[in-house]
């Protein structure tokens, strides 16, 4: 009987210690031997894994989805905005929620970089999710993981694929305005520039084309495609790849001077539905941004074949989008003792 009590006590202790380690990896051993990309060899490896909040905040994903459902029902475009936030976060210092930090005595906010100024949005939705999570599980769920969960949830609520999402990212104590300016692919990129910027993050051509498919939802500002309408190659002529009727429609939204903040749908056929129509529109000369169009006409690598494949087979696109989102979400996460779990996503603790 004494032996049974000792054995039972050991099991309880082991279970509780596992629970603590799951929630706070800095207090336990590395899980699964999966190190963060860019991590030092020989250091303890704290990998991301889907069950990270299983014991410390089992309701985390339900809370995220309940806030998203209301926000996206109220404004369907919000799904695209939240998906973009995750992308613009991961391409700077890794997926560490640096994009959420406001200006302060020690922080120069990434919100004012050229790719983000007057265009990134959804911060209030992230604030609401964080507030709800802080009530349920104080200082447990990181802002970086909230961004990753919001991106997946937004995709699902728009009719797109789901994926098993590795969790356990921690939040940065820094931001980088200059890296935000230099690393986020601009909308007027050449194909070679896009490939280079994605390769810098460990992402390949397949990831580039699949993740570009996120443009199946959302809008873009006139300033991001004006060059295509009026001066594509420095000769005061439009981009010849634009389908004529589409071109005239865009001109009516986006005048030669002024109107920079006027918006146009990235996928005018099904703007709030996550599907593969984006790729069909590119084939028809109706991709909105230069960075969309060059996937077909850029003459580098296999991007043309991928556009055609995803246009033909939506299921193929959905599967690859999910894989590429997991890969992007794994860019240089802070884990273990690195970073922190912010109480307020806009401020370091």
Q: For residue 24, indicate whether it is catalytic.
A: no
185 annotated as belonging to a binding site for a ligand? yes
Q: How far apart are CA 142 and CA 53, in angstroms?
A: 11
110 annotated as belonging to a binding site for a ligand? yes
216 annotated as belonging to a binding site for a ligand? yes
313 annotated as belonging to a binding site for a ligand? no
**Active-site residue (options: 88, 130, 152, 327):** 88
Backbone angles phi, psi at 264, to 5 degrees: -135, 150
171 annotated as belonging to a binding site for a ligand? no
98 annotated as belonging to a binding site for a ligand? yes
24 annotated as belonging to a binding site for a ligand? no
292 annotated as belonging to a binding site for a ligand? no
115 annotated as belonging to a binding site for a ligand? no
89 annotated as belonging to a binding site for a ligand? yes
241 annotated as belonging to a binding site for a ligand? no
Q: Which residues are tagged catalytic?
A: 88
Task: Give binding residues for Ca(2+) as ranges.
Answer: 89, 92, 94, 96, 98, 110, 216, 267, 275
Residue ranges for the binding site for heme b?
215
Name the binding residues for substrate.
Answer: 185
Q: What are the binding residues?
A: 89, 92, 94, 96, 98, 110, 185, 215-216, 267, 275
């Amino acid at each position: 009987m004494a032996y049974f009590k000792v054995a039972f006590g050991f099991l309880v202790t082991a279970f509780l210690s596992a629970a603590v380690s799951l929630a706070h990896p800095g207090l336990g051993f590395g899980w699964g031997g999966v190190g963060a990309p860019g991590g030092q060899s020989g250091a303890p490896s704290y990998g991301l894994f889907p069950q990270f909040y299983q014991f410390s905040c089992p309701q985390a994903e339900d809370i995220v989805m309940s806030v998203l459902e209301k926000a996206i029902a109220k404004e369907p475009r919000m799904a695209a905005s939240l998906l973009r936030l995750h992308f613009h976060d991961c391409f700077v210092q890794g997926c560490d929620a640096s994009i959420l930090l406001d200006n302060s005595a020690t922080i120069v906010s990434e919100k004012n970089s050229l790719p983000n100024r007057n265009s990134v949005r959804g911060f209030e939705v992230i604030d609401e999710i964080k507030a709800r999570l802080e009530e349920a599980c104080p200082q447990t769920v990181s802002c970086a993981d909230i961004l990753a969960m919001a991106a997946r949830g937004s995709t699902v609520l728009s009719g797109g694929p789901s994926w098993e999402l590795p969790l356990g990212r921690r939040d940065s104590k820094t931001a980088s305005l200059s890296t935000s300016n230099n690393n986020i692919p601009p909308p007027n990129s050449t194909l070679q520039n896009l490939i280079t910027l994605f390769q810098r993050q460990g992402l390949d051509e397949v990831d580039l084309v699949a993740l570009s498919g996120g443009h199946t939802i959302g809008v873009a500002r006139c300033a991001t495609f004006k060059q295509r309408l009026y001066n594509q190659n420095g000769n005061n002529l439009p981009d010849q790849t634009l389908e004529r009727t589409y071109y005239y429609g865009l001109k009516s939204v986006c005048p030669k001077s002024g109107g920079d903040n006027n918006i146009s749908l990235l996928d005018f056929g099904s703007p709030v539905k996550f599907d593969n129509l984006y790729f069909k529109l590119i084939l028809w000369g109706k991709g909105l941004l230069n960075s969309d169009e060059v996937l077909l006409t850029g003459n580098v690598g296999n991007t043309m074949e991928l556009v055609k494949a995803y246009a033909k087979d939506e299921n193929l696109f959905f599967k690859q989008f999910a894989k590429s989102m997991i890969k992007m979400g794994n860019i240089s996460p802070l884990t273990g003792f690195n970073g922190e779990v912010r109480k307020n996503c806009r401020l370091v603790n």
